[in-house]
Structure 1
Amino acid sequence: MSPQQKALVLTQKQGNFELSSRSIPSPGAGQLLVKIQSAALNPVDWKIKDTGILGLVTHYPAVLGSDIAGIVEEVGEGVENFRKGDRVLAHGKYTNDLAAFQQYTLTVASFTAKIPSSESFDSAATVAVALDAAVVGLYGNEMGAGLTPPWTESAGDHESKKPIVILGGSSSVGSYTIQLARLSGFYPIITTASPSNEELVREYGATHFFDRNLSGKQLKAAISKVTDRPIRIVYDSISLPETQLVAWELLANNGTLVLTLPASVKEDEGKGRKAIHTFGYPHVPQNEELYRSSWAMVEKWLSEGTIQPNKYEVLPNGLEGIIEGLERLKLGQVSGVKLVAHPQETQ
């Protein structure tokens, strides 16, 4: 193996992407070296480039990307459940040696899973980041609604016959939230999306669909015909100011609004509601325990079809194709699919 690899690097904060060469790292204890076959794009990637948000990236030039699927090339000390040649998916980290937009990366074994034979590298690459955002949003105690994870006890449907509303059900995060809501036993599972994506969200497990263009009042009226139970959980996977207002209008007293962006709503009516900005990232101490348990389930979920990966579109030109792909995400030109790049096809 050549000690060098191709990588797409962000040259400086709010700078430009360039194709570059960097060393292939060696795995430390608890890590794997993975040859990346497919890397998926996420909105956070263009937001980091444009704004340097969240302080996630502190050193430049920086390699971005965190949705990884590939082949194990080398196994670090203490790793017992993976071996060279395994097909795996993983949630990367905002550190150059553990990021996705390159040909080889390190992954943390605890947040890596084997890909079942039923899934391709491309489909597997759509899973990690969005599924993790759904997991912590629903089940995280500090950065989520604090529900009991359905995989931690044998006692079936924890949220049986309780309604949930998921705004943006055809988004990556929304689609996995629908599927986890089904796993938790929520009913009805109500979601919004474009009419063209109605069939897609129903495939994921939504029981009731409404047009995303309905106002808060219109949506509330429509939902009242579906259930008379209070809506105590709303997951807004879009989390723009206008969708947060819609969500806030639906949310019952003492309910929880889960957001993927910072809250622009606040409780001023004494209803005891809370808005939580979730952070679907396993590499922080407060999320590690939850994610160790959920990642232990990923291969089984995919194998059994409990969790279906997103639909995807493959970008041309290897790593260079990511640049245009992120621009399309920024301009809102992607709907119902995840964009995936093939680093090994880089010229």
Structure 2
Amino acid sequence: MSPQQKALFLPKKQGNFELGSRSIPSPGAGQVLVKIQSAALNPVDYKIKYTGMIVTDYPTVLGTDITGIVEEVGEGVDNFRKGDRVLAHGKFANDFTAFQQYTLTAASFTAKIPPGESFDSAATVPVGLDTALVGLYGNHFGAGLTPPWTKSTSGHESNKPIVILGGSSSVGSYAIQLARLSGFYPVITTASPSNEDLVRDYGASHFFDRNLSGKQLQAAINKITDSPIRIVYDAISLPETQPVGWELLANNGTLVLTLPALVKEDEGKGRKVIEAFGNPHAPKNEELCSSSWAVVEKWLSEGTIRPNKYQVLPNGLEGIIGGLERMRLGQVSGTKLVAHPQETQ
């Protein structure tokens, strides 16, 4: 019998989470077996539970933000070895998810954690960073900008303005940091007033209250820059934020969303709306994300990319259940929730 591990299951569509056990998988070619130390929670995890989206096979194990210790490497993996501390972006297949004690990861979307970074902080990186990154630089699921790591000099978007709605969210925080890396200026963001210092720390040059109307925000931005806003990244993408982003956007600009579009593209002005699909395992994202994951360790080591603030949940895998409910009820702001699967009783 294969060695067993504890896992948090969603036993059926729109069911209730249950703690159970499953076999520890073995890595195939290009894969790494990781003993999970920290797993971060994402909004998609509770949305799957309540709507039944994405997942078709049950029982299922959720979670895609992974950090841990390399236990074993598969054939052809020569950049990791047993004992390495790593972070990785999982996928929704039970052998590759985060809400369990061991998981497989794709070596291409795994990176070493530098010595100064904890498992908890690094767990806040994969999904948020990849979603921000694909939304800005992806040719299929993004605005198609030139990635700043592809040439020796960054600053491809030097002195062009960008607006990021929801800068204190996980995706928003990484979008701010990448925008800064690409040379955008001013980097304008919205958030709750209580998160102003946080978004400025991430690199926003200008902050506005998220409760401003579209017209109020437009007027405020006009006082900062008279350059056209060609990129708006709406990291919230709710019915109330999408029209605001659309109003701000100049002719031939791109509105990047994290949820399905509610605004309609207008051919006369040439404005586009794109839903960022930050899954690195998607064939159209593989090349972009393989090249970005190759520099994640360097970015974290140098402080080029800073992880999110986080809060650790109690009770191992069982703590995830209450954490997801808090997220669904809007009780989490400017912070990622992180669980420790190895502490499961």
Distance (whole Å) between structure 1 residues aligned to residue 33 and residue 17 of structure 2: 24
Matched with 1:202 is 200
Distance (whole Å) between structure 2 residues aligned to residue 279 and residue 15 of structure 1: 26
CA-CA distance at 1:287 after TM superposition: 0.3
Residue 158 (structure 2) aligned to one of 145, 157, 160: 160
Distance (whole Å) between structure 1 residues aligned to residue 154 and residue 314 of structure 2: 44
Distance (whole Å) between structure 2 residues aligned to residue 277 and residue 14 of structure 1: 25
Matched with 1:147 is 145
Matched position secondary structure for 1:285: coil
Matched with 1:4 is 4
Residue 248 (structure 1) aligned to one of 246, 250, 270: 246
1:1-347 superposed matches below 5 A: 3-53=3-53, 56-268=54-266, 270-347=268-345
CA-CA distance at 1:157 after TM superposition: 0.7
CA-CA distance at 1:156 after TM superposition: 2.5
Question: Once the two structures are superposed, what CA deviation does each residue of 1:114-141 show, in whole Å capped at 9, x if it has no partner?
Answer: 0001100000000000000011000000
Distance (whole Å) between structure 2 residues aligned to residue 119 and residue 86 of structure 1: 13
Distance (whole Å) between structure 2 residues aligned to residue 45 and residue 155 of structure 1: 38
Distance (whole Å) between structure 2 residues aligned to residue 49 and residue 290 of structure 1: 30
Distance (whole Å) between structure 2 residues aligned to residue 152 and residue 9 of structure 1: 40
CA-CA distance at 1:60 after TM superposition: 0.4
CA-CA distance at 1:2 after TM superposition: 7.6
Aligned length: 345
Partner amino acid for 2:322? E
TM, length-normalised to structure 2 = 0.99
Query: Identity over the aligned pairs, expressed in percent?
Result: 83
TM, length-normalised to structure 1 = 0.98
Question: Once the two structures are superposed, what CA deviation does each residue of 1:151-195 show, in whole Å capped at 9, x if it has no partner?
Answer: 001132100000000000000000000000000000000000000
Distance (whole Å) between structure 2 residues aligned to residue 345 and residue 243 of structure 1: 39
Matched position secondary structure for 2:134: helix
What residue ranges of structure 2 are gaps of 5+ in the alignment? none
Distance (whole Å) between structure 1 residues aligned to residue 278 and residue 229 of structure 2: 23
Q: Please report the RMSD computed on the Cα atoms of aligned residues, expressed in angstroms.
A: 1.0
Distance (whole Å) between structure 2 residues aligned to residue 267 and residue 183 of structure 1: 29
